[in-house]
Structure 1
Amino acid sequence: MTAPVSFVVSDDEGGTRLDRLVARHTGSSRRVARILIMQGKVCVRRTVVKIATREIRAGEQISVSDPGEVANPKELPKVEPRILHLDHWLVAVDKPAGLLSETGRQGSPSIETLVPRLLAEAGEHKTDVRLVHRLDAGTSGVLLLARRSQACATLGDAFAHGRVIKTYIALCQGDLGRVQLIDAPIGHVRGTRQGVVEGGKPARTDVESIATTQDASLVRAQPKTGRTHQIRVHLAHLGHPLYGDGLYDGPRYVGKAPPEPVPRTMLHALQIEVTHPK
């Protein structure tokens, strides 16, 4: 057993993913950091957090128990996507929260690496796929991948020129109220954090409350542009950040005696409408 490691996230580190912080402060690789997190050995503010991609705020304390003890990765629980639709042109999958869309430099599991295996298991001989759009690691929901170069070009063009209707479901803080169009430019603030800033890129999001209480609103959101973290930034700008979204000051605990941690950012890609590339 090795000595535990504890540290406070600095201002410069604010907004950095948990796995990167753990790797940096324990001197381990990103792969080992993710295993430690999945094993429940990492706490943020004394609460176990198992989402490696969670973005951590400055001032939060992180502790890692037994950083030198890592179990066999084969014993770790799997986070698997699920095939929603499959044809000769494309595949639609349900991406779980915490899984990357594209393979990172560290070779982490991703939709790009897992979907070919799912296709092979389904008896498909052609397993090559190409992402045509992406979801944030912490966001779950429908994701499209092309199986032919023509489909990739056609779908990519549709996304690039706004011929796709994307519908999300989100849980945000407070009573959002009426249907509204949020029209506010988005730009980089610091680290991975974006914000509504003067001179930012145009960004528009339609939002509609499905159900509300004094403490929370279940919201349907349709981004009309494709800015980084757009729905998260726009709702936070209105004073209604998403539950579990620490990067944008969303509530991370609910209930009382004792409060329960929100395990993820409460954002789900519910539906995509696009002309089939056939």
Structure 2
Amino acid sequence: MKDDKPKVQFIAIADDFAGQRIDNFLRARLKNVPKSMIYRILRKGEVRVNKKRIKPEYKLQEGDLVRVPPVTLPEKEAAAPVSTKLDKVAELENCIIYEDEHMLILNKPSGTAVHGGSGLKFGAIEALRALRPDARFLELVHRIDRDTSGILLIAKKRSALRKLQEQFRQKTVQKYYFALVMGQWPKECRKVTAPLLKNEVNSIVRVNPNGKASDTRFKVLESFTEATLVQASPVTGRTHQIRVHCQYTGHPIAWDDRYGDPRFDAYTKTAGLSRLFLHAANIQFEHPHSGEKVEINAPMDAMLNRTLEALRQR
């Protein structure tokens, strides 16, 4: 009788995967397995590299031998294919603002997660794979928050993913966000360097002297009666960095459900806003194939533009 039970896999890491975190490697290989289960088998030591336990942030090296345990999903947890008939999925095809044979760039809508997990059936990357079933390789280069809109890079080749992620690690990628913050942002406040510590239980991030060094540059773009439109450029890439740094200065971002101020949300609601006003508007980096400088701009959606116009009229 044929044995269909999953078996232990031993995978030798080729040069193409060198530098990739083990958790991201497993998530790409075990596509239907919930993220929580992947971190569970890592925690338990069921995943081994060169016969040793490793942490989720371990970066693979060429020649590593990875032991992947058999993973069996209960039927109710088995992931159903992402339907391309869903409006939210079909919409993503129209959100592509740049594409060539090495990568594509989305102007991601607010409310769309970059990947599935934590109760979400799918995210932008799963939707793109469903829309392009013949694509041999589609992987996230980086991440942005679910409620943040704007630029999201997707690699179409393993070589492009490695080169782009290396630029992020070397901090040579320049990213600029637009944020509407409460009150009058002082023009002399051009840099916030407060260290950030993430609570692994609830994912809330706070300024803490024991946290990781974090650096965000700010520039005032436009001032209103009770609000300021700022440009924020994160030098480091910590979770919720811009949102927490804005809160720390006393100028939280509009409609931030974790770090915001309900009074400011009520004020901007009268201007037509009902979502987080944080938008990844501009990115500059070297093309992973040609090495030429690439600059991409992503326009804000209609709601953000209408909100600014309403505030100007006040």
Tell me the TM-score range normalised by the shorter chain.
Answer: 0.5 to 0.7
User: In structure 1, how many angstroms separate the alpha carbons of the residues matched to 2:244 and 2:255?
Assistant: 14
2:296 matched to 1:275?
no
User: In structure 2, how many angstroms separate the alpha carbons of the residues matched to 1:108 and 1:96?
Assistant: 17
1:114 CA displacement: 1.6
User: In structure 2, how many angstroms separate the alpha carbons of the residues matched to 1:240 and 1:263?
Assistant: 18
Q: Is the 8 A contact 2:84 2:131 kept in 1?
A: no
The structure whose RCO (Cα within 8 Å, separation 6+) is larger is 1
Q: Is the 8 A contact 1:119 1:127 kept in 2?
A: no
Q: Is the 8 A contact 1:183 1:205 kept in 2?
A: yes
Work out which of the residue numbers 194, 197, 220 in structure 2 matches 1:187.
197
Deviations, residues 78-129 of structure 1 (Å, cap 9, x unaligned): 3633111110100001110111101215452211112234456xxxx53531
Pair 74,131 (structure 1): closer, same or farther in 2 beyond 3 Å: closer
User: In structure 1, how many angstroms separate the alpha carbons of the residues matched to 2:286 and 2:277?
Assistant: 28
2:155 matched to 1:146?
yes
Counterpart residue number, 1:104: 117
Deviations, residues 28-48 of structure 1 (Å, cap 9, x unaligned): xxxxxxxxxxxxxxxxxxxxx
2:103 matched to 1:90?
yes
Counterpart residue number, 2:242: 231
Tell me, what secondary structure is at the counterpart of 1:254?
helix
Work out which of the residue numbers 232, 245, 253 in structure 2 matches 1:221.
232
2:261 matched to 1:252?
no
Long gaps (5+) in structure 1: 1-72
User: In structure 2, how many angstroms separate the alpha carbons of the residues matched to 1:162 and 1:75?
Assistant: 38
Q: Is the 8 A contact 1:186 1:195 kept in 2?
A: yes
Pair 75,224 (structure 1): closer, same or farther in 2 beyond 3 Å: closer
Q: State TM-score, norm by structure 2.
A: 0.59
Pair 206,88 (structure 1): closer, same or farther in 2 beyond 3 Å: same
User: In structure 2, how many angstroms separate the alpha carbons of the residues matched to 1:88 and 1:77?
Assistant: 26
Tell me, what secondary structure is at the counterpart of 1:274?
strand
User: In structure 2, how many angstroms separate the alpha carbons of the residues matched to 1:275 and 1:260?
Assistant: 39
Work out which of the residue numbers 204, 208, 212 in structure 1 matches 2:223.
212
What is the root-mean-square deviation in Å for CA atoms of aligned residues? 2.4
User: In structure 1, how many angstroms separate the alpha carbons of the residues matched to 2:153 and 2:209?
Assistant: 33
Q: Is the 8 A contact 2:137 2:158 kept in 1?
A: no
User: In structure 1, how many angstroms separate the alpha carbons of the residues matched to 2:160 and 2:235?
Assistant: 22
Counterpart residue number, 1:17: none
User: In structure 1, how many angstroms separate the alpha carbons of the residues matched to 2:235 and 2:214?
Assistant: 7
User: In structure 1, how many angstroms separate the alpha carbons of the residues matched to 2:177 and 2:221?
Assistant: 12
> Which has more helix, going by share of residues?
2
User: Superposition pairs for residues 1-278 of structure 1, below 5 Å?
Assistant: 78=88, 80-81=91-92, 82-104=95-117, 106=119, 108-119=121-132, 125-126=134-135, 128-179=137-188, 180-189=190-199, 191-250=202-261, 251-254=264-267, 262-278=273-289
Q: Is the 8 A contact 1:253 1:260 kept in 2?
A: no
1:264 CA displacement: 1.4
Identity of aligned residues (%): 32
User: In structure 2, how many angstroms separate the alpha carbons of the residues matched to 1:104 and 1:97?
Assistant: 17
Pair 127,171 (structure 1): closer, same or farther in 2 beyond 3 Å: farther
User: In structure 2, how many angstroms separate the alpha carbons of the residues matched to 1:238 and 1:224?
Assistant: 17
Long gaps (5+) in structure 2: 1-82, 290-314
Deviations, residues 132-180 of structure 1 (Å, cap 9, x unaligned): 1001001000100100010011111111121100110000000002151
Tell me, what secondary structure is at the counterpart of 1:159?
helix
Residue identity in the other structure for 1:163 = T
Residue identity in the other structure for 1:226 = G
User: In structure 2, how many angstroms separate the alpha carbons of the residues matched to 1:192 and 1:175?
Assistant: 29
Looking at CA atoms only, which structure, 1 or 2, has the larger radius of gyration?
Answer: 2
Q: Is the 8 A contact 1:203 1:225 kept in 2?
A: yes
Pair 186,155 (structure 1): closer, same or farther in 2 beyond 3 Å: same
User: In structure 2, how many angstroms separate the alpha carbons of the residues matched to 1:107 and 1:184?
Assistant: 32
Pair 213,106 (structure 1): closer, same or farther in 2 beyond 3 Å: closer
